Amino acid sequence: MAELRLGPLLRYADGTSATVWVEASRPCTAEVRGADGAHGTSRTFQIAGHHYALVPVTGLTPGSSEAYEVLLDGTRVWPLPGSPFPPSVIRTSAAGDRDGDTVRLAFGSCRWAAPPADEEDPVGPDALDTLAARIAADPEGERPDVLVLLGDQVYADETSKATRRWLAARRDLRDPPGDEVADYEEYTRLYYESWLDPEVRWLLSTVPSCMIFDDHDVIDDWNTSAAWLADMRATPWWRERLLSGLMSYWVHQHLGNLSPVELSADPLYAAVRETPDGTDLLRSFACRADADPASVRWSYRRDFGRVRLLMVDTRAARVLDEDARSMLNAGEARWLREQALDAPGSYDHLLIGTSLPWLLPHLVHDAEAWNAALCRGERGERWARFGENLRRRADLEHWAAFPSSFDALAALIAEAGSGAGAPATVCVLSGDVHHAYAAEPTWPTGGGPDARVFQLTCSPVHNAIPLAIRLGFRFGWSGLARGLGHRFAGHGGCPRPPIDWRRTGGPWFGNQLMTLTLRGRSARLRLEQARVLRGGAARLRTVAESELAP
């Protein structure tokens, strides 16, 4: 009999359809049945001895909430027997793009898997666990319409004690890559550890999710520079690690980002489902993605009524040549532009999801621009070597480290946010930096957008926040730090950025989530942190709220 190994994850949901992802213990037919007639079936496909299905669900009613169950070869496997959680439901959006529809979007990044319930959590309560507890306690109350996870869903290079024990039983950890994951099977262990957490498992079964990778999904500083990549390719273990990372991401995260229409048109997905074992096909795809990153697109678009979300790949899509460094290759930049400018007036809010913040504290921005100039050779070969070393040690690889890309994004935002039919807000959603803040840019030379523009950064969901980060980012926003940053920029001969910006909220430190509530042309932001209350229970507590657009 087939058993449910992982999932279900409710991934895509619109007014009449949804997709539900599962992993089974053997080949079978996966089925989703709704309480009011929604239905979908799909045969599993096989990758590296594992069996997966992404079940398209149809027959849903717009603006409804329908409980569902999962069956494998006709046997019910979800909800789990004796589950303490309410039924998993598929909530659909109302029909059309009505001005009064509310879209509630929660986002964050950087999540270490929570330890078992009988172990002390060294980094405090998990924000996703606490969100799940709140929804479970009041199933009819407020909940996100979508959960946006902005990178580092798993940590291939920072494994838990339990995973290290599992790895040690499998191979000799004295051989590279040591206690980091090495292949596809070891990646599956990370997803089991993270997504079998009871609270998170139920949360992901009942709240739709959008995901994109960041560096730790593969390795810290992934694609930070051409020199870094050359060093990694010279190691005996890197190729298997990268290919396994891309393959597991395609299976566990990427497929669920796509709509049923996009899935039906995806030739790789069709080929994998049609063959008894799709491992070689998927591995060939990963090899192509490694050899020619511009030939593969991980970015995608989701529309939620009159809210447009563009999730942008800022890792694999980079151009690393020092003379032509870019956060996005030409095809990716063109795609982003086309999606942002498509059908002006058809959306009230434009959200650009990028794991790495666009606007940073001014000192950090100037240090990254200065470092990019050094690595480019603006101050000679000796400074270039120093710059490369510093870039890796200090993680100087955000949008500011790609100055032309920073400027291009500023120009695109100004264009998308201007003119007839301009949206009320353009929000850049980011994570990565293990704290949260809000910043607002201005265009001092004119040509700024009509829309309000914000950088909204929220991280981590569940991770450590070292004291050095707290102190550094608090100082980074100060006037003294800004003056120091100007000195760095001057030494590198860096031109002034085309915009200025100011911090409007934060920095906040802790395990946290941001929620955007968008209704018509209004936008409201809430930051919540997971805290242990008296009596030992963990709850999400609101620490800041603000109106972005009235």
pLDDT tens digits for range 58-107: 999 999 999 999 999 999 999 999 999 999 999 998 755 555 689 999 99
Torsion of CA 287, 263, 336, 550, to 10 degrees: -140
Is-contact 430 504, C-beta < 8 A?
A: no
Q: Summarize the confidence of residues 428-451 as an average pLDDT.
A: 93
| CA–CA distance, 303 with 409 (Å, rounded to integer) | 20
Count of domains forming the chain: 1
Sequence-ordered list of residues with C-beta below 8 angstroms from that of 391, at least 6 positions apart, any chain: 224, 225, 371, 375, 397, 401
**Residue 303 CB coordination number (10 Å):** 18
| CA–CA distance, 108 with 210 (Å, rounded to integer) | 11
| CA–CA distance, 278 with 264 (Å, rounded to integer) | 17
User: Does the pLDDT of residue 250 top 80, yes or no?
Assistant: yes
Is-contact 147 208, C-beta < 8 A?
A: yes
**Among candidate residues 41, 45, 47, the one with its CA nearest the CA of residue 29:** 41
Residue labelled with tokens 């909800």 = 79
Length of the chain: 550
In a domain, 29, yes or no: no
pLDDT at 96: 53
What strands lie across the sheet with 425-430, from one edge to the other? Answer: 300-304, 307-312, 349-354, 425-430, 452-457, 436-442, 500-508
In a domain, 72, yes or no: no
Angle of helix 127-137 relative to helix 198-206, nearest 10 degrees, comes to 60
**Among candidate residues 163, 167, 169, the one with its CA nearest the CA of residue 190:** 163
Q: Summarize the confidence of residues 35-48 as an average pLDDT.
A: 96
| CA–CA distance, 485 with 368 (Å, rounded to integer) | 10
pLDDT at 537: 87
**Among candidate residues 70, 67, 69, 59, the one with its CA nearest the CA of residue 22:** 70
DSSP 8-state symbol, 283: H
Task: Kindly tell me the burial class for residue 455, based on how many C-beta atoms sit within 10 Å of its own C-beta (0-12, 13-18, 19 or more).
Answer: buried
Could you give phi then psi for residue 67, rounded to 5 degrees?
-65, 145
Q: Summarize the confidence of residues 294-310 as an average pLDDT.
A: 97
In a domain, 22, yes or no: no
pLDDT tens digits for range 511-525: 999 999 999 999 999
The amino acid at residue 222 is W
pLDDT at 312: 98
DSSP per-residue letters across 465-518: --HHHHHHHHHHTSHHHHHHHHHHHHHHTPPPPS-EEEEEEEEE-SSEEEEEEE
Q: Summarize the confidence of residues 38-57 as an average pLDDT.
A: 98
| CA–CA distance, 412 with 403 (Å, rounded to integer) | 14
DSSP 8-state symbol, 284: H
Banded model confidence at residue 344, pLDDT cuts 50, 70, 90: very high
pLDDT at 535: 75
pLDDT at 324: 95
pLDDT at 387: 96
In a domain, 33, yes or no: no
Is-contact 407 497, C-beta < 8 A?
A: yes
Is-contact 295 335, C-beta < 8 A?
A: no
Provide the token pair at 227.
């020199």
pLDDT at 459: 97
pLDDT at 447: 76
DSSP 8-state symbol, 111: B
**Residue 110 CB coordination number (10 Å):** 26
| Of the listed ranges 60-69, 197-206, 493-502, 527-536, the one predicted with least confidence | 527-536
Banded model confidence at residue 465, pLDDT cuts 50, 70, 90: confident
pLDDT at 99: 54
| CA–CA distance, 538 with 516 (Å, rounded to integer) | 22
In a domain, 333, yes or no: yes
Banded model confidence at residue 429, pLDDT cuts 50, 70, 90: very high
DSSP per-residue letters across 372-399: HHHHTTTT-HHHHHHHHHHHHHHT--SG
pLDDT at 95: 56
User: Does the pLDDT of residue 366 top 70, yes or no?
Assistant: yes
In a domain, 36, yes or no: no
| CA–CA distance, 287 with 351 (Å, rounded to integer) | 31
Percent of the chain predicted with pLDDT > 70: 99
| CA–CA distance, 131 with 108 (Å, rounded to integer) | 12
Task: Kindly tell me the burial class for residue 505, based on how many C-beta atoms sit within 10 Å of its own C-beta (0-12, 13-18, 19 or more).
Answer: buried
Provide the token pair at 326.
């870019």
Output the CA angle 420-422-428, nearest 5 degrees.
160
pLDDT at 119: 83
Q: Summarize the confidence of residues 464-483 as an average pLDDT.
A: 90
Greater confidence (271 vs 116) lies with 271
Q: Summarize the confidence of residues 413-418 as an average pLDDT.
A: 97
Provide the token pair at 231.
């060093």
In a domain, 300, yes or no: yes
DSSP 8-state symbol, 126: -
Output the CA angle 166-168-172, nearest 5 degrees.
150
pLDDT tens digits for range 180-232: 999 999 999 999 999 999 999 999 999 999 999 999 999 999 999 999 999 99
**Among candidate residues 313, 304, 40, 17, the one with its CA nearest the CA of residue 147:** 304
Angle of helix 198-206 relative to helix 184-195, nearest 10 degrees, comes to 90
In a domain, 168, yes or no: yes
**Residue 208 CB coordination number (10 Å):** 25
Q: What pTM does this model have?
A: 0.97
Provide the domain limits for residue 225: 97-549
Q: Write the CATH number for 236.
A: 3.60.21.70
* Mean pLDDT, the chain, whole residue set: 96
Provide the token pair at 467.
């004291």
pLDDT at 497: 95
Provide the token pair at 131.
């969100």
pLDDT at 118: 76
| Of the listed ranges 74-78, 208-212, 350-354, 443-447, the one predicted with least confidence | 443-447
**Among candidate residues 262, 547, 224, 258, the one with its CA nearest the CA of residue 395:** 224
Q: How far is CA 528 from CA 98, 209, 237, 305, in A?
A: 29, 19, 40, 25
pLDDT at 263: 97
pLDDT at 521: 96
